[in-house]
Chain A
């Protein structure tokens, strides 16, 4: 339905994106996500004809948008803008009726009956009918957003573009609005929405297109697109992707912008101690790898939630060869090994026997348990400490390697 082919668009002489191709099929709801300035709005404006692309083509319903008159375009593509301030006080129904503009001819008869039906239907579907007679500048921001959606519905087009349709809505209306768009696509429309909220995008959209640095980074079903690596690349920030416990769709937690890492720490451990160590090191900006961490342990969950490279192993059992190999690989890439209540499984002790500097962390409770730790605590490169002071200890044993300040 919407076919973008090799599109290059510039704004004010600056190329916003280059050679972008994407397709939205009938009955498909696609989310356009990406950091601010990635060109989401620009992409929408290239489709609805507000911007003229430098090269490439945009087709809607098989018709090149560039060859259409404004009126024809208005019957192919409807756009829900971010938020429009209307200076003069039109009623909500008036604004929705303006959606019929591309169906009117300047001279000749207008099908009032069709207009009326389309407007009523749009008001109904968006639940804006109960304040249809109120001036549009007196309704709330969320209500106004729904009025603009109603206007786009009254336009009665095969393709629907939405620019941050949920930005000014409360949670209920966010869900209602996106469900409505989802329903509309089920009845044949093609919808493309620029959305900030990755979780909502994952929940309601059939497909996600991840835009960054003026190109399509990746695109596909939400579960495929929303992984740590792509988000990392697109947003230049750490994000953890887990599964929403109720909806089963991907849930993204942004962990803040990534800082420069010049230190990699490998953590072997269990329970609260390992969890705190992983969190402190990771928050301080270190690259953290971990393993073996017992499956289902809080430390393993933490590593997964933070998108860390971690190896989990069945609790209590001996480590099999594959686990030992992958842990050894991670360990050998690290600058420091941190043992935080390491698991008692067979084979763990061997992994801890390394030439790396080692920090041995004991829980704050004081019942130091140093199972399997064979290194002598008197060594220059070994320190025993508590989770609270782990950063200092790591800094000491890795002297010369700067660790960002703990703030």
Chain B
């Protein structure tokens, strides 16, 4: 089928771009490593899940300690090439976790952005539009300001905060089983403002750790480890698979809810599922990387110009382009003499591009 063929070609092309971005990024850093060594070390790092086992680990929450079941995944490494140990360690343990996490976060934010823009029938919508990022910020800044003993610490708090905010906005905007999109949008704006106030107040209370909180709010990927990748990558892929199944429905929703209904779409249920999945995928990204703006807004918008509005091709291309874009942006962020939060780079690159789009094409619908 026509669309299917285009989707495959675009996806393959963007995957190549993503792979290239990962390799190039892995060569950049304080220690110069030859590109062929980087390539070999990267291939060596490719892991294939081989088995899953459940173990109970003691975890403590608010002083109480209880065994928590943890999924243990065993990996096999199909490639094993000869690489100098130091180089391998730097690439595999320092650079790659951060690069791969950037890719996962970019993938998630761009996919969620594409869903939200289609959902709200508004090219200006972004993944945080219903308060996900603000909720995550409240959770994260709260753990920084008032250290709480939560398993996985800041990330868990941010994730829970994000979902609570999204669910709150949804609940406020819903009445009698219906959730009008316009109400959702406005409730999201109001809740974001409220949570913004909470974050500002807590920042005043952070004292010594203000810098840490501000860095988180600007979005940053430094200090990433494979553990974060292990949690976010499967979640992102799973969530993407779910929204991709709804790609056609998203297309039909663009015609308006009444039309979608007459075309056999269970409108309210579809909206709930899409909103929930887009919120989860955004929450996962934001909780590990902080508030990274513009990726979810700009990337789907740019891809729509290139591949058209059909979500069957827009979703995968946006996700892959978002991954490549964030890998590139994070490389800029850490390549300079002093590292800057990646959120600054995405906004610095994204905003001018967005203004260019605004000038270049008249935007009629808001």
Q: Which residues of B (94-122) have their CB < 8 Å from a CB of A?
A: 118, 121-122
Q: Is A141 an interface residue (CB 8 A)?
A: no
Instruction: Give the docked Cα–Cα distance between A90 and B118 (Å).
Output: 13
Instruction: Give the docked Cα–Cα distance between A151 and B252 (Å).
Output: 12
Residue in B245, B255, B267, B310 whose beta carbon sits within 8 Å of that of A106 in the complex: B245
Interface flags, A71-82, vs B, CB<8A=1, else 0: 111110111010
Instruction: Give the docked Cα–Cα distance between A49 and B256 (Å).
Output: 15
Q: What 4 A-B pairs have minimum CB-CB distances, sorted nearest first? A: A74-B264, A102-B264, A88-B309, A79-B262
Instruction: Give the docked Cα–Cα distance between A50 and B267 (Å).
Output: 10
Residues from chain B with a CB closer than 8 A to the CB of A87 are 121-123, 254, 365
Cβ-defined contact, B261 with A112, below 8 A: no
Closest to B314 in A: A88
Q: Is B211 an interface residue (CB 8 A)?
A: no
Closest to B311 in A: A88
Residues from chain A with a CB closer than 8 A to the CB of B246 are 106
Residue in B1, B121, B123, B264 whose beta carbon sits within 8 Å of that of A70 in the complex: B264
B89: shortest Cβ distance to chain A, in Å?
44
Residues from chain B with a CB closer than 8 A to the CB of A73 are 262, 264
Query: Could you show 12 A-B contacts with beta carbons less than 8 Å apart?
Result: A48-B261, A49-B262, A50-B262, A70-B267, A73-B264, A81-B262, A87-B121, A88-B123, A89-B309, A98-B255, A101-B249, A101-B252
Cβ-defined contact, A86 with B266, below 8 A: no
Cβ-defined contact, A70 with B261, below 8 A: yes
Closest to A74 in B: B264
Cβ-defined contact, A98 with B308, below 8 A: no
Q: Is A61 an interface residue (CB 8 A)?
A: no
B6: shortest Cβ distance to chain A, in Å?
13
Instruction: Give the docked Cα–Cα distance between A98 and B250 (Å).
Output: 11
Q: Is A69 an interface residue (CB 8 A)?
A: yes
Interface flags, A87-127, vs B, CB<8A=1, else 0: 11110001100110110101100001000000000000000
Instruction: Give the docked Cα–Cα distance between A101 and B123 (Å).
Output: 24
Instruction: Give the docked Cα–Cα distance between A49 and B265 (Å).
Output: 11
Q: Is A386 an interface residue (CB 8 A)?
A: no
Q: Is B251 an interface residue (CB 8 A)?
A: yes
Closest to B257 in A: A50
Instruction: Give the docked Cα–Cα distance between A49 and B121 (Å).
Output: 23
Cβ-defined contact, A69 with B266, below 8 A: yes
Residue in A70, A84, A90, A112 whose beta carbon sits within 8 Å of that of B265 in the complex: A70
Residue in A75, A81, A151 whose beta carbon sits within 8 Å of that of B258 in the complex: A81
Q: Is B334 an interface residue (CB 8 A)?
A: no
B250: shortest Cβ distance to chain A, in Å?
10
Q: Is A398 an interface residue (CB 8 A)?
A: no
Of residues B246, B254, B255, B304, which shows the largest number of chain A Cβ atoms within 10 Å of its Cβ?
B255
Cβ-defined contact, B264 with A71, below 8 A: yes
Residues from chain B with a CB closer than 8 A to the CB of A107 are 245
Cβ-defined contact, A104 with B248, below 8 A: yes
Instruction: Give the docked Cα–Cα distance between A172 and B97 (Å).
Output: 66
A194: shortest Cβ distance to chain B, in Å?
14
Instruction: Give the docked Cα–Cα distance between A3 and B256 (Å).
Output: 27
A29: shortest Cβ distance to chain B, in Å?
19
Cβ-defined contact, A77 with B262, below 8 A: yes
Contacts A101-B252, A151-B263, A155-B263 known; 14 new A-B pairs at CB < 8 A = A48-B261, A49-B261, A69-B266, A70-B261, A70-B265, A70-B266, A71-B266, A74-B263, A88-B254, A90-B309, A95-B255, A98-B252, A98-B263, A101-B248
Cβ-defined contact, A102 with B310, below 8 A: no
Residue in A86, A90, A102, A106 whose beta carbon sits within 8 Å of that of B263 in the complex: A102
Residues from chain A with a CB closer than 8 A to the CB of B251 are 90, 94, 98
Of residues A49, A86, A99, which shows the largest number of chain B Cβ atoms within 10 Å of its Cβ?
A86
Instruction: Give the docked Cα–Cα distance between A74 and B249 (Å).
Output: 13
Interface flags, A19-50, vs B, CB<8A=1, else 0: 00000000000000000000000000100111
Residues from chain A with a CB closer than 8 A to the CB of B259 are 79, 81, 84
Instruction: Give the docked Cα–Cα distance between A155 and B256 (Å).
Output: 17
Residues from chain B with a CB closer than 8 A to the CB of A81 are 258-259, 262
Of residues A69, A90, A155, which shows the largest number of chain B Cβ atoms within 10 Å of its Cβ?
A90
A68: shortest Cβ distance to chain B, in Å?
10
Interface flags, B234-254, vs A, CB<8A=1, else 0: 000000000001101101101
Q: Which residues of B (153-172) have their CB < 8 Å from a CB of A?
A: none
Closest to A44 in B: B262
Residues from chain B with a CB closer than 8 A to the CB of A71 are 264, 266
Instruction: Give the docked Cα–Cα distance between A29 and B311 (Å).
Output: 37
Cβ-defined contact, A75 with B264, below 8 A: yes
B172: shortest Cβ distance to chain A, in Å?
20
Cβ-defined contact, B248 with A84, below 8 A: no
Instruction: Give the docked Cα–Cα distance between A107 and B245 (Å).
Output: 8
Interface flags, A233-269, vs B, CB<8A=1, else 0: 0000000000000000000000000000000000000
Contacts A88-B254, A90-B310, A94-B310 given; indicate if A101 touches B264 (C-beta within 8 A).
yes
Instruction: Give the docked Cα–Cα distance between A30 and B252 (Å).
Output: 28
Residues from chain B with a CB closer than 8 A to the CB of A48 are 261-262
